[in-house]
Amino acid sequence: MSEHYGNHPLASIAGVITLAAWSVYVLSAVLYYPEFPPSVLVTGGFGIAACLAVAFNFKHWRATVLLACALYLLLYVIRVYRMTTMTTDLSFVSALSSYYSISWQLAASMFQEKGLVGGLTHAFLEYVMPLLMVVLIAVTLVSRRRRPGVARAG
């Protein structure tokens, strides 16, 4: 029984990070319910699929997690790129710097307007979640499924 549990995705770092990151993401989306962009429905749906794949030990859970993370990062990059190219008089690097400096101001306003939960939600969605997705991709790619026929050394 313990060998079977050891192969379960929840026994891996990638599985735990998947459940934690996507659960908080979906919860954050629910807190923003009427005001979130439609892309949140898509990424949240894929995140829920990744969580279900991990929880139910789907054979291709790693591929599901990688797909959800890649989709999230793609939509995040598109959103940031579109926001930075709205100002045509600035170079891309200047516009990107401006975007993130304004985002810090927005985070401060969220703390004032919606309190601690609103400010932390904005900070999580804007700064922590993209970083978690990069880490999750790396951890998922590094983790390998144990082969049943291969004996361990030692």
pLDDT in tens, 113-146: 878 887 888 888 888 999 999 999 999 999 875 5
Please indicate, yes or no, if residue 75 is contained in any of the structural domains.
yes
| Tens-place pLDDT, residues 60-114 | 999 999 999 999 999 999 988 888 888 667 787 888 888 878 887 887 888 888 7
Domain assignment present for residue 147? The answer is no
Range of the domain at 48: 2-142
**Residue 153, in any domain of the structure:** no
Which is more confidently placed, 150 or 111?
111
CA distances from 12 to 15, 31, 55 (A): 5, 29, 12
Q: Is residue 152 part of a domain?
A: no
Q: Which pLDDT score is estimated for 88?
A: 65
pLDDT reported for residue 114: 76
- Whole-structure pTM over 0.95, yes or no? no
How many structural domains are present in the chain?
Answer: 1
pLDDT given for residue 154 in this prediction: 46
Q: Is residue 65 part of a domain?
A: yes
Element (H, E) at 50: helix 38-55
